[in-house]
Amino acid sequence: MTIESGERMPAGEFSVMTDKGPKSVTTDDLFAGKKVVLVSVPGAFTPTCSMSHLPGFVVHAEAIRAKGVDTIACMAVNDVFVMSAWGKDQNVGDEVLMLADGNGDYARALGLELDGSGFGMGMRGQRFAIIVEDGTATHVAVEAPAQFEISKAEAILEVL
């Protein structure tokens, strides 16, 4: 079942890269007592994700934080090394927390997995943005296939 606005975010775990190597981050670490914009892209280094989706959140990070957001996090079904390299390539710095959902467990828990096997990508996460307040989804914007409108930074700024 797909996550809906008003529902608690499922428990889960991500990997992030630190100065000391990969580290686990739980959903409690990420969401408890915070307002978070969780963005999902089908894949690091893919065209729309690299040219528009992630860069929009980097460019608008200050305006998003001004709306009371504590963390902007970008997840993808990629390993922690790929997410780290993509974050460096995109110059995210401290603006966006790069979350690796390596096996797609969290995308599946949200009911937002995507079968990209027809494109040689295997199982991925759909393109979406969720506003989370203290562990509860308050806005869920899942893109229709091949669309990029409701989950982009500008659209999320309008609903914050």
- C-alpha 23/C-alpha 149 separation (Å) is 32
**CATH code assigned to 23-159:** 3.40.30.10
How large a percentage of the chain has pLDDT more than 90? Answer: 84
Sketch the domain layout of the chain as residue ranges: 23-159
- The CB density around residue 22, as the number of other CB atoms within 10 Å, is 15
Q: Kindly indicate the confidence band of residue 69, based on its pLDDT and cuts at 50, 70 and 90.
A: very high
C-alpha 85 chain-centroid distance: 16
Per-residue pLDDT of 87-100, as tens digits, reads 999 999 999 999 99
Q: Kindly indicate the confidence band of residue 64, based on its pLDDT and cuts at 50, 70 and 90.
A: very high
Report pTM.
0.94
Kindly name the residue from 17, 49, 75, 77 that is annotated as catalytic: 49
Whether 49 is catalytic is yes
Token pair, residue 5, equals: 């606005």
Pairing type for strands 113-115 and 13-18 reads unpaired
